[in-house]
Structures are given as structure tokens and as C-alpha cells.
């Protein structure tokens, strides 16, 4: 996100006419963008930022490296809640379920089984935090692309 903001700010501040810098032309070509289709340095910088952001957006939504969808996490949380005896209603959010599980586990006498449940809960909570962060990053990047597109179109 910060690289997009930086490139966006650079694009706005570096406009000096219709001529593209040689380094900008090379970056456009490396990203598969024909430099002849770009009219200004500012447009080029915005297109570069968008092209670099697109792979991150596509990869962020896929399950990889331990990242899970919200539905998967809710399913796992409900399963863990069932295992520990925590009550879950249909209206409970993922965060509510995690909180309910933590309350039940904190009220239990420490044992090997409780430690196992706490470990599962910790893993689930960490993955939920990652999911929330990824979703927020995607939203922020999409907002920046929207702003960039409006600037390109002069809206």
C-alpha cells in the first residue's frame, strides 16, 4: 500500500510534460505495457503502480501460506467451539466465536487437552487477524486504484 501511495505521489509531483523517462519506459515494458500507449509520465507511474498492485490483489484472495477464507475460519471456530463446549449462535461473528472459546478455556482447569485447545485457538485467532489485514489491504489498494483512475480520466 505504501509503495502505491509513494508511486502515486511521485506521479503527481513528477509531471514535466509528455516525454517519458527512459527508466519509466523500461519499467512499462517489463510489466508488459506498451510505452507508446502512455501519454505522460504521470500516467505511466499510475499504470506501473496499478500493474504492480494487481498480482498482490489476485494472490491475496487465494488460500496460500496458511491464509484461509472467512468461511473456513468460521467453520473451524465452530468445530473448536463444539470440542470445548462453547455456545455458538447463528448470529455470532468469527470474533464472537473466538471470544466465546477463550472464555470457556480460561474457566477450565489447565490440562494437556486445554493446552491443545488453546493452541488451536491461538492459531485460529492469528489466521483471522491475517485475513482481516489482507482484506483491509485489498480494500485500500482498490481505493487507490480508483483514485488513480479518476485522475487519469480527469474526473
- What's the rounded Cα separation, in Å, for the pair 93 and 89? 9
User: pLDDT for 103-138, tens place per residue?
Assistant: 999 888 888 888 888 989 988 888 888 888 888 888
CB 7 within 8 A of CB 49: yes
Query: What distance in Å separates the CA atoms of residue 4 and residue 112, rounded to the nearest whole number?
Result: 47
pLDDT range class, residue 41, cuts 50, 70, 90 = confident
Query: Model pTM?
Result: 0.49
The rounded distance, in Å, linking the Cα atoms of 97 and 106 is: 14
pLDDT of residue 6: 43
Amino acid at each position: 500500500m505504501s509503495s502505491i501511495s509513494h508511486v502515486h505521489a511521485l506521479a503527481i509531483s513528477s509531471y514535466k510534460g509528455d516525454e517519458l523517462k527512459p527508466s519509466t519506459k523500461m519499467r512499462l515494458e517489463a510489466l508488459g505495457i506498451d510505452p507508446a500507449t502512455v501519454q505522460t509520465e504521470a500516467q505511466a507511474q499510475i499504470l506501473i503502480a496499478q500493474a504492480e498492485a494487481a498480482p498482490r490483489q489476485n494472490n491475496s484472495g487465494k488460500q496460500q501460506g496458511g491464509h484461509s477464507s472467512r468461511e473456513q475460519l468460521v467453520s473451524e471456530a465452530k468445530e473448536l467451539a463444539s470440542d470445548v463446549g462453547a455456545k455458538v449462535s447463528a448470529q455470532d461473528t468469527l470474533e464472537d466465536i473466538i471470544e466465546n472459546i477463550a472464555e470457556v478455556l480460561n474457566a477450565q482447569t489447565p490440562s494437556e487437552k486445554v493446552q491443545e485447545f488453546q493452541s488451536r485457538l491461538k492459531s485460529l485467532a492469528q489466521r483471522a487477524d491475517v485475513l482481516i489485514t489482507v482484506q483491509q489491504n485489498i480494500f485500500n489498494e482498490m481505493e487507490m486504484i480508483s483514485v488513480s483512475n479518476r485522475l487519469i480520466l480527469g474526473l
